[in-house]
Amino acid sequence: MAIATTTQFTATGLAPSTSYTFHLVAVDAAGNLSGASSSATATTPGTQAIVDYDFPRGDTLAAKNGWAFASTSWSLAPTPDGSGLGLPFTYPGVLPGNYGMSEMRFTMPPQDEFWLRVRWHIPAHYAHRHDTELQIANAAAAGWQVGDRVRGTDGVSEGVISRVDTSTVFLRFAAKAAFNSVWVGTLTNTTRNSALASTGRMQWGANNKLLAIWADGYSSAGLGSTMVWQTDSDWYFSGSTHSVVTVGYSKGGNTVTGAVANGGTLITPADHGKHMDIIFHGKFSTAPGAKNGVIRTFARKQGETAYTMHHNITNADMDKRSDVAAHLRQWRAGYLMGWANSGFDAASTFHISKIEVFAQRPADLAGVSP
């Protein structure tokens, strides 16, 4: 008589939201194999977010699932694309040489490794400026005005005046802006056929904060590491007026973040007035001194079906500290947005309409290297 029996087994290493087909083969005590069974198909469940804020769905800023905003009185506002409400970050319009600030701090469920996803809405009139300040006396008296073109000492490099004061002139998108040899000396206003002397040059920062995550304290205030993602003017890197995404980190020990890694173009004019989903991934080194911490950035723009990877850093020197209180050793706090060092010519409002935190790689990244 044949007796039916059931044997259970566990398959490990499977990807989320993925279908797998199984065939079974029996083996007897002598090692003889049977023919393969008919196929059986199973689909793994998707990765679940441990934190999930969806403001268009009706969520508020109330704390939940280990996430808490520093302020719950900040009013949500409609996103420009009409998709619903979002958390607004408004930067006032300021003259060149001035910064902007809009920031929301938070705490999140402590993690050794996290994936944090936000849906980020770009203003329709977004413009990432890049200004260079020149020390030029009497420019206003000489009739130099905003919009004039100024040529450097090399007779080739040019920039457009964005601000004129009593003793300073700001140039927008000046070629070779980092070189004193080009912008210190006699400069020519080609619009007015006028020449004046520049005695100093300073390139204003154009890095604008997007997200920071830390363990016990931010940047030099922490013994643990900090990661900071930013947008920056591509003019600094390759001479385009687009925005790139960068990331830098501190290795801890009360140090500041070091050099940034350029992840390539993130915002072009085609993205103005639209949203994108950005996934930020961080992981401590596996052991003290191993220098194999992970920092990755992925973005999926409105209308796209797949993510693009912008950073794949796998050698970050980010140890999980053992010399701080146990509850401060993991990634646990941060801020959204923050200082806009470039400033904006006109008031500009960004929105974040969704926030999710995952303890495992989100299913949406299936098929995206690595």
pLDDT reading at 160 higher than 60: yes
Main-chain dihedrals φ then ψ at residue 355, nearest 5 degrees:
-140, 130
How far is Cα 123 from Cα 54, in angstroms, rounded to an integer?
20
C-alpha–C-alpha distance, residues 10 and 271, integer Å: 45
Tens digits of residue pLDDT in 200-210? 999 999 999 99
Q: 287 or 22, which is more confident?
A: 287
Q: What is the pLDDT of residue 236?
A: 87
Q: Whole-number mean pLDDT of the chain?
A: 93
3-class secondary structure, 263: strand
Q: Tell me the average pLDDT across 218-230.
A: 97
In this prediction, residues 62-74 reach a mean pLDDT of 98
- 13 has pLDDT over 70: no
CA dist 275 and 273 (Å) reads: 7
Taking residues 157-166, what's their average pLDDT?
98
Burial pattern 133-147, b for ≥16 Cβ within 10 A else e, equals bbbbeebeeeebeee
pLDDT digits (tens, 9 = 90+) for 38-63: 766 654 445 799 999 999 999 999 99
What is the pLDDT, as a whole number, of residue 20?
A: 55
- For the stretch 131-150, pLDDT in tens is 999 999 999 999 999 999 99
Q: Which of 46, 102, 48 is nearest to 343 (CA)?
A: 102
pLDDT, position 1: 47
Q: Which residue has the tokens 């023919």?
A: 35
